Chain A
Amino acid sequence: MSFVEVNNLVKHFPIRGGILNRVIAQVQAVSDVSLRIEKGETLGVIGESGCGKSTLGKTMIRLIEPTSGDVRFDGVEITGLSHAELMPIRQRMQFIFQDPYSSLNPRMTAQQMLAEVIRFHDVVPAKETDKYIEELLETVQLRKDSKNRYPHEFSGGQRQRLNIARALAVKPDFIIADEPVSALDVSVQAQILNLLMDLREKFGLTIMFISHDLKVVEHFCDRMVVMYLGTIVERLSCDDIYNQAQHPYTKALLKSNPINDPDDRETLYILEGEVPSPSNPPPGCPFVTRCDIAEERCKSERPPLVQLGDEHQIACWAVTHPANASTSSDAL
């Protein structure tokens, strides 16, 4: 049993229209996603906009309610719990948001924000709150006297550190980080990533790292899942993705990333076409409209996730076609 389990999670958003405001279509944001994250592990979730990775994270933490499927945390099924029952879980599962500018209340100082969280969950006895806040700020490499500052007095990187401090304040075991460095400059990104690595070691955190940046995910995570149009198309370890990746989309992602070598321009791979609308996905493989190795089968039958190697799964008919007999499509 894994620390965090996601089983066949589905999230559809209804689109309303017409005179009577009936539901005319569904945005299929997350379609049948299953994951396992072991304690202490860092899982990367990579995909471009519209692939459902943010929705996945928010559904797991029950910021959004799933349409079907369940999420298990440390053995406890959390999707069916009431909000009151969810409270102790909330302390152990935290979320770091993407936008450093809108994720902090502009009218609360750092101190007030952290104190509210700490007192609400009674993380430390009341008398020790101030001291704990100072420790937290130090841990995220902010100066102690910044506790009386308002968010607008901090830079983007500093605000993100505050975000991390808020998540850490309740001493969580599991953190979902939704594009935590995407809005930051490259040099600041490096600082924050290093910080997250330090904290991960220090506190033994389990992390789900959502991002669109392959370089970052590869650097930071142990394993990763690649999402496209609401489904997982490939699961692999981050050790050697360049050579290991098999799914055409993953390969396209790898080769579309601008490399920092101007002599290497020829290898830039252009993936033609656009992402189909999530309210009207293709009936078969979602990638069929842009895939260059698509077969007839891909248009009508959705490929299941098939085990390829030790920590490697892929959903692609062309790769898993007859030669590889399918095995379990679930657990890793």
Chain B
Amino acid sequence: MSTTTTQSSEAKTTTRELALSVQNLTTSFRSDRGLVTAVSNVSFDLFKGEALGLVGESGCGKSVTSKSLMRLLPEHVTRYGSDSKVMLGSDNVMKYSNREMRKIRGNRIAMIFQEPMTALNPVFTIGWQLDEALRHHTKLNRADRRKRVVELLDMVEIPNPDKRYGEYPHQLSGGMRQRVVIAMALACEPEILIADEPTTALDVTIQAQILRLMNDLRERTGTAILLITHDLGVVAQTCDRVVVMYAGQVVEQASVGDLFHNPSHPYTRALLQSIPRSGKKEKGKRLATIDGIVPSLLDMPKACRFAERCDCRQPQCDVEMPELVNFSGDRSVRCHFPVHK
């Protein structure tokens, strides 16, 4: 029982080396109704050692974005934009062959998913599965691998790591399993960790543990984290900068403090307002909501995609698609009439 001592966002702006740069990522799927574009012109940078939050509601394209980075989408139906680039160092990952992708997956970029239940193979012990990752990507011998696995289990704060080596996934609780998954992801000391809703399936008390763990690990190993979630609270607790997505596009980018205290895009602001607030209750008060629903992927407006739900809608919004404009330091917004500038 301890309190977490993560540093606040300000202290992290010292050295900024680029870990990953996503430029103009567009991902479309071939379906029997034609080409459906799930992600349009998404660009953002991920710096070494930072935690970047990718936030949005279901259907906004955040999962598709993360899977595109790892090229995990089904090949024969996925089409990427011609100028889509994902720069890992000086290489464009989009141009990698399957073989090259396999070399970097788990090795330079690792990914963890939402369901710890299905991320682990139920018929192998967790020790074996961690060992597999090392076998695949490193040249360590058996004894060294075993040592490393125990080290990893210890790093993710699993008690009795020696004993746990031989246990099966079903013998562990959800929180424990997610720790194992994190250990697997970090086994080869990747530069980047993509975490797709890693705590959504966990209880709130366990979630707090896992988030603290991820923060600690990030400080120790310098791995950059791309944290994908729909939970703004999680973002507030862990991230340095935030990218907000809506209907397949990036609508706002800012440091976490700026985003929460002075949101720029009407959608971000509305989202923050619709969360019930802790503290003294105002009985019977209705929550602020956003009217309407997300437009269907098959029927996207040609202009601003949020216009029909926006409470500061103007005629220009229905005519012209706003560009993502960088208006100060780290802040960008895609809006003709941003709330804060």
Q: Is the CB of B236 within 8 A of A270?
A: no
Residue B140 is within 8 A (CB to CB) of chain A in the complex: no
Q: Is the CB of A253 within 8 A of B205?
A: yes
Residue A215 is within 8 A (CB to CB) of chain B in the complex: yes
Enumerate chain B residues within 8 angstroms of A49, measured Cβ to Cβ. Answer: 174, 203
The distance from the CB of A53 to the nearest CB of chain B, in whole angstroms, is 12
Q: Given A48-B205, A186-B271, A240-B280, is A219 in contact with B287 using a C-beta cutoff of 8 Å? A: yes
Enumerate chain B residues within 8 angstroms of A213, measured Cβ to Cβ. Answer: 204
Residue from A155, A219, A256, A257 within 8 A of B293 (CB atoms): A155
The distance from the CB of A244 to the nearest CB of chain B, in whole angstroms, is 11
Q: Is the CB of B237 within 8 A of A219?
A: no
Question: By the criterion of a CB under 8 Å from any partner CB, how many residues of chain A are at the interface?
Answer: 52
Q: How far is the CA of A158 from the CA of B293 in the complex (A)?
A: 10
Q: How far is the CA of A211 from the CA of B239 in the complex (A)?
A: 27
Q: Given A194-B286, A275-B173, is A258 in contact with B271 using a C-beta cutoff of 8 Å? A: no
Q: Which of B3-11, B26-34, B96-104 contacts A (4 or more CB under 8 A)?
A: B3-11
Residue from A197, A263, A272 within 8 A of B286 (CB atoms): A197
Residue B277 is within 8 A (CB to CB) of chain A in the complex: yes
Q: Is the CB of B289 within 8 A of A187?
A: yes
The distance from the CB of A243 to the nearest CB of chain B, in whole angstroms, is 9
Residue from B1, B6, B212, B271 within 8 A of A187 (CB atoms): B271
Q: How far is the CA of A275 from the CA of B206 in the complex (A)?
A: 10
Residue from A187, A259, A269 within 8 A of B270 (CB atoms): A187
Write out, one digit per residue, whether chain A residues 307-329 have a CB within 8 A of any chain B CB (1) or not (0).
00000000000000000000000
Q: Which of B35-43, B86-94, B225-233, B318-326 contacts A (4 or more CB under 8 A)?
A: B225-233
Q: Is the CB of A194 within 8 A of B3?
A: no
Q: Is the CB of A266 within 8 A of B3?
A: yes
Residue A296 is within 8 A (CB to CB) of chain B in the complex: no
Residue B119 is within 8 A (CB to CB) of chain A in the complex: no
Residue from A197, A260, A265 within 8 A of B275 (CB atoms): A260
The distance from the CB of A151 to the nearest CB of chain B, in whole angstroms, is 16
Residue B260 is within 8 A (CB to CB) of chain A in the complex: yes
Residue from B176, B257, B270, B294 within 8 A of A263 (CB atoms): B257
Measured CB to CB, the nearest residue on chain B to A256 is B208
Q: How far is the CA of A33 from the CA of B173 in the complex (A)?
A: 25
Q: How far is the CA of A262 from the CA of B238 in the complex (A)?
A: 8
Q: Is the CB of B6 within 8 A of A265?
A: yes
Residue B2 is within 8 A (CB to CB) of chain A in the complex: yes
Q: How far is the CA of A220 from the CA of B289 in the complex (A)?
A: 15
Residue A190 is within 8 A (CB to CB) of chain B in the complex: yes
Q: Given A218-B278, A258-B234, A261-B260, is A270 in contact with B2 using a C-beta cutoff of 8 Å? A: yes
Q: How far is the CA of A252 from the CA of B2 in the complex (A)?
A: 11
Residue B272 is within 8 A (CB to CB) of chain A in the complex: yes
Enumerate chain A residues within 8 angstroms of B315, measured Cβ to Cβ. Answer: none
Enumerate chain A residues within 8 angstroms of B290, measured Cβ to Cβ. Answer: 187, 190-191
Enumerate chain A residues within 8 angstroms of B287, measured Cβ to Cβ. Answer: 190, 193-194, 219
Residue A64 is within 8 A (CB to CB) of chain B in the complex: no
Residue from B4, B274, B278, B288 within 8 A of A242 (CB atoms): B278
Enumerate chain A residues within 8 angstroms of B275, measured Cβ to Cβ. Answer: 186, 190, 215, 260
B positions within 8 Å CB-CB of A: 1-6, 8-9, 57-58, 173-176, 203-209, 211-212, 230-234, 236-237, 239, 256-257, 260, 270-272, 274-281, 283-284, 286-290, 293-294
A positions within 8 Å CB-CB of B: 48-49, 155-158, 185-191, 193-194, 197, 212-216, 218-220, 238-240, 242, 252-254, 256-272, 274-275, 290, 292
27 contacts between A and B (CB under 8 A): A49-B203, A155-B293, A156-B58, A186-B231, A187-B270, A187-B289, A193-B287, A194-B286, A194-B287, A194-B289, A215-B275, A218-B278, A220-B276, A239-B283, A242-B279, A253-B204, A259-B236, A260-B236, A260-B272, A262-B260, A263-B8, A265-B236, A268-B212, A269-B208, A270-B2, A270-B3, A274-B176
The 6 closest A-B pairs by CB, nearest first: A258-B233, A48-B203, A219-B276, A190-B274, A185-B57, A190-B287
